[in-house]
Chains A and B, each alone.
Chain A
Amino acid sequence: MTIDSSEPKGESGLASSTAFHPGEATVKQIHYEVVIGIEVHAQLKTNTKLFCGCSTQFGDRPNTNVCPVCLGMPGALPVLNRRAVEYAIMAGLALDCDVRNTSVFSRKNYFYPDLPKGYQISQFDQPICLGGHLDIVVDGVKKRIGITRIHMEEDAGKLIHQGSDTIAGATHSHVDLNRACTPLIEIVSEPDIRTAQEARLYVEGLRQRLVYLGICDGNMDEGSLRADINVSLRPVGTEPFGTRTETKNVNSFRSIERAIHSEIARQTQLLTAGERIVQQTRQYDEATQTTRVLRDKEESHDYRYFPEPDLYPLVVTSEWIDTIRAALPELPEAKATRYRDAGLSDFEIDVVLNEPETSQYLDQCIGAGAVPKDAAKWVVGDLNSLLKETKQSFKESKVTPDGLVQLLGLIQSGKLSGKMAKEVLEKCVQTGQSPDAIVSASGATQISDTGELVVVVDRILDANPDVVEKVKNGKTNSADFLMGQVMKETKGRAKPDLVRSLILECIARR
């Protein structure tokens, strides 16, 4: 029997293999459909934790942002952070979910040193949001990914093991509870995803939305956004899901794709060999680019969820939801439509929408009177590269949106050529001066005054009668030489298209 399952056909949503079935005389080709569901944990960007007043600042000295509540001291009680609720509602509205008027926090019970209370407060059977969706575009085709639910929960702390990567081999382990009790939302997708690419697009789309809402910093390196990926295979055309594995805490887009590829390959190989998939929790290892088992289902916890008696059910009034809806910022999809209508290219739209501050910058330019397409050209092009070179972000750019609009005005009125504008912009990025200031200091505006230029053109024509003759005889290419001379004489400040037409006019008149 021949097996070729090392290369999963992940991108097609199919994994194929040739499997030998005992008792059958023939070797049969089975195609598997990949089914993927993703749970994304997003840390909400509140200043304080979910149930206490401690700072959520990342990277502070261990155990400095803690108090009796998040340390799980006896006698301490949780008090819900309303801002976190507001953020969860925003996420729900942005993903077209049904925001529930009543939701319930429960206790999820298990022992681990990073879990101070011995239970995690998490919404369970009555989450804050139900049923929504996110649209992704796969190779130009729109695809809708269903969202089952969004629930709120607190994060656990962090363990730092000494002498080993895991607690098992460690000589001792340190517990840092700065992260304990920080607010998270968990966004659970329907099993609608079929390929690693779709998975990536889905998580990218989610991230973009949360970042645009301003409720999550989207920083995957710091763990602000992490994905648990459920993968299963089923023979194409069959309805029931195959046994799934869950790969925990994947924290980069590339890892998401790789983890899925690796898991598809592994499962395909097992199925092909006639083995069963074991329901497992797995972990992705970036070094080997494979997943390894964390625990089997048999070892899985009975979390003994029950309603958290320290918190009454969370009541969200319809009025509150309406207020939040009314104040929602414009989301990427709406922005894209607006930009497209204003004539931006798909490429420009992609670049502009990549970071909220870029699109905010462009919108400020538009607000200050810029033609969207003209402004986008600079935002996506020269300004973007200049900022990258000088390690500035759009938010802290030395060229303000007003500055860029000024520059566009100078081009528009013919005072600057494109080339000159680029030089001015460079100076702006370096010095922080406005384009107007730079131009008036150097006096180096473009000469677009016909009277002034005619004098120069005539002088050049007088000095080069032979070239003039050539042009007259139809060698229009030779006009380029004359043009170069005029530009040289004006130190590049002459408006090129004006110069060209003046040269031709003057020659014609001779």
Chain B
Amino acid sequence: MTTWRSSAVELGKAFRNRSVKVADVVTSLWLHHDQVEPSVKSYLTTFQSETMAQAQVLDAQFDRGETLPLLAGIPIAIKDNIHVQGVPTTCASQILKGFIPPFNATVTDRLQAQQVIVTGKTNLDEFAMGSSTENSSFHTSLNPWDTSRVPGGSSGGSAAAVAAGQAVVSLGSDTGGSIRQPAAFCGVVGMKPTYGRVSRYGLVAFASSLDQIGPFSRTVEDAALVLEAISGFDAHDATSSPRLSESYYSSLKPTVAGLKIGVPKELFGSEIDPGVKAQVVAALDLLKANGATWEEIAMPSLKEAVTTYYIIAPAEASANLSRFDGVRYGYRDGGADNLRDMFRQSRGGGFGPEVKRRIIIGTYVLSSGYYDAYYTKAQKLRSLIVRDFAHAFQKYDVIMTPTTPSVAFKLGEHEANPLAMYLADIATIPVNMAGLPAISVPCGLDQGLPVGLQIIGPAFGDQQILNVAAGFQELSQFPTRFQSPLMRSTQ
């Protein structure tokens, strides 16, 4: 049985005409999972027995001919920094030890209303800080294309699970590229919606002004389907947009002809590996051959985006992570004999090194005497990035870049040099700084490893970039052309 290989759209149709049972999909998915999980380690928790029971109920409903939501019965994995009520949220950190959220994230609520099957909680870099899952305090997930390499991060588990066939779709969160970069590394579709399009309620905050939840999938249609389910205004999130959400899936219209594409030269020079660049040029030329035009443009502020990001994101994170103090939940060091030491030892023992590094950076840039030199300046640069994009979108329908400067790197490759790791997000970070929607789709292979093409749209142009991605999918047939070895492995 290979039904677990199907897309959500295909499964939905098969469930409705009863050619496939939900229980069969779930059973075959777990069989496959058991085979590949030891080499990928996508998950931190799985809900095998719960999903089997749920599948039975859904099949009974389908058998009775009930009209169920489009995502009913679709196996979906959720990054372990998004709350599912009643099961632990770890953020891959020791400091959340024993914490079980008493509430659902809004996205979880919306997915459960669609009667999805939540397969489990996936691995990530601790508190979503990292680009490889190597900062997880539990284990490192591995790339389904080459298990000596990282799957990317921070949503590496969610990307790997979809690439390895351990879930049909999944959710990640993206603060500086944490969905798009692992999607590129694992050869799947990953989308960061416009800031404010998807509620952040129930997502453990890393950098509040940048965080956004989005889908991983193997097809553009599935990404649209999931986004349609999770997006829209939420009264629990003051930064969620009151704009009406669109029916991204039913409105999906593959678009290539006549498309005007801008390619920032700041992200298309020597900072990009030649092998990656070649694949992206090939993709752009494929689009061009089908009626689109592309040209390089200057967006000078993008060069400052990484520096700006590593001031703003740690600043916000340093405050967001203050609540982990050992008082109300999570890890508390029992050895302290006064309050100050209890705080110090609990936080010192509970957080991993990368998280501490960012808390220290964030605390520093917000300190009196340094605030203007760092934080205020970073906010000014941020507005320049916003302006550069706005300017570009006056002329171009979409901006395209390589999603990452290189293909997936080896485990431990950047261990000694966190700054080199930070540069993995050079092309994705500017998008978060400007709050724009962007999607990464597989566009080729370099050294046998997937290369991602990033399509960036104007604010609330989520439908537009999905349409362009669908157009590219139609031309390149990437879902069938680029499948990880593990996806192909099971009988």
Contact = CB atoms under 8 A, between A and B. Distances in A.
A474 interface: no
A78 B200 CA distance: 11
B343 A74 contact: no
A74 B339 contact: no
Nearest to B210: A309
Contacts of B375: 306
Interface stretch (B10-18, B22-30, B318-326, B450-458): B318-326
17 contacts: A68-B101, A68-B103, A73-B102, A75-B101, A75-B201, A75-B202, A75-B203, A77-B236, A109-B366, A111-B322, A113-B325, A117-B319, A118-B325, A119-B322, A304-B319, A309-B208, A312-B238
A167 B238 CA distance: 36
A116 B238 contact: no
Contacts of A167: 339
Interface in A354-381: none
Nearest to A177: B328
Interface of A: 68, 71-80, 107, 109, 111, 113, 116-119, 167-168, 175, 302, 304-306, 309-312
Contacts of A116: 323, 327-328
A117 B323 contact: yes
Q: Is the interface of B mostly helix, strand, loop or mixed?
A: loop
A479 to B, nearest CB: 82
B393 interface: no
Contacts of A302: 367-368
B238 A79 contact: yes
Contact of B238 (A71, A72, A311): A311
Contacts of A175: 327-328
Contacts of A72: 323, 328
Nearest to A118: B322
A78 to B, nearest CB: 7
Nearest to A63: B328
B88 to A, nearest CB: 12
B339 A109 contact: no
Given A72-B323, A75-B103, A113-B325, 8 more contacts: A73-B101, A74-B96, A79-B237, A175-B327, A302-B367, A309-B209, A310-B205, A312-B238
B318, B319, B343: most-surrounded residue (chain A CB, <10 A): B319
> What are the 10 tightest A-B residue pairs by CB atom distance, in nearest-first order?
A118-B322, A309-B208, A304-B366, A309-B209, A74-B204, A75-B202, A72-B323, A113-B327, A117-B323, A107-B319
A434 B82 CA distance: 65
A99 to B, nearest CB: 21
B343 A111 contact: yes
B105 interface: yes
A78 B238 CA distance: 7
Given A75-B202, A306-B375, A118 B101 contact: no
Contacts of B82: 75
Nearest to B366: A304
Contacts of B310: none
B221 interface: no
Contacts of A78: 238
Contact of B239 (A76, A109, A119, A310): A310
A311 B238 CA distance: 6
B5 interface: no
B236 A79 contact: yes
Contacts of B99: 74
B200 A74 contact: no
Nearest to A68: B103
B47 interface: no
A73, A109, A175, A302: most-surrounded residue (chain B CB, <10 A): A73
A327 B38 CA distance: 68
Nearest to A107: B319
Contacts of A310: 205, 208, 238-239
Contacts of B366: 109, 304-306
Interface in B223-273: 235-239
A71 B323 CA distance: 9
Interface string B323-348: 11101110000000011000100000
Interface string B68-105: 00000000000000110000010100001001011101
A61 B208 CA distance: 33
Interface residues of B, number: 45
Interface of B: 82-83, 89, 91, 96, 99, 101-103, 105, 200-205, 207-209, 235-239, 315-316, 318-319, 321-325, 327-329, 338-339, 343, 363, 366-368, 371, 375
A68 B363 CA distance: 25
Contact of A77 (B101, B237, B329): B237
Contacts of A71: 328
A77 B204 contact: no
A76 B102 CA distance: 11
Contacts of A80: 238
Contacts of A309: 207-209, 239, 316
A74 to B, nearest CB: 4
A181 B325 CA distance: 18
Contacts of A117: 319, 322-323
A116 B327 CA distance: 8
A68 B102 contact: yes
A175 B332 CA distance: 16
B424 to A, nearest CB: 24
B83 A75 contact: yes
A345 B36 CA distance: 91
B238 A306 contact: no
A111 B363 CA distance: 13
Given A116-B323, A306-B319, A306-B375, A77 B200 contact: yes
B203, B205, B322, B339: most-surrounded residue (chain A CB, <10 A): B322
A302 B339 CA distance: 19
Given A76-B201, A116-B323, A116-B328, A306 B371 contact: yes
A311 B201 CA distance: 13
A168 B340 CA distance: 10
B154 to A, nearest CB: 16
A305 B319 CA distance: 10
A72 B319 CA distance: 12
B236 A109 contact: no
B318, B327, B343: most-surrounded residue (chain A CB, <10 A): B327
Nearest to B338: A168
B238 A109 contact: no
A75 B238 contact: no
Nearest to A170: B339
A75 B319 contact: no
B349 to A, nearest CB: 16
A444 to B, nearest CB: 64
A68 B99 CA distance: 13
B328 A74 contact: no
A302 B366 CA distance: 9
A75 B325 contact: no
A2 B187 CA distance: 88
Nearest to A167: B339
B319 A109 contact: yes
Contacts of B321: 118
B367 A75 contact: no
B254 to A, nearest CB: 35
A175 B325 CA distance: 14
B368 A304 contact: yes
A74 B82 CA distance: 10
A87 to B, nearest CB: 19
A63 to B, nearest CB: 10
A311 B236 CA distance: 11
A377 to B, nearest CB: 54
A305 B203 CA distance: 23
B121 to A, nearest CB: 13
Contact of A75 (B105, B315, B318, B324): B105
Nearest to A114: B327
Nearest to B329: A73
Contacts of B91: 74
A77 B96 CA distance: 18
A150 B89 CA distance: 40
Nearest to B362: A304
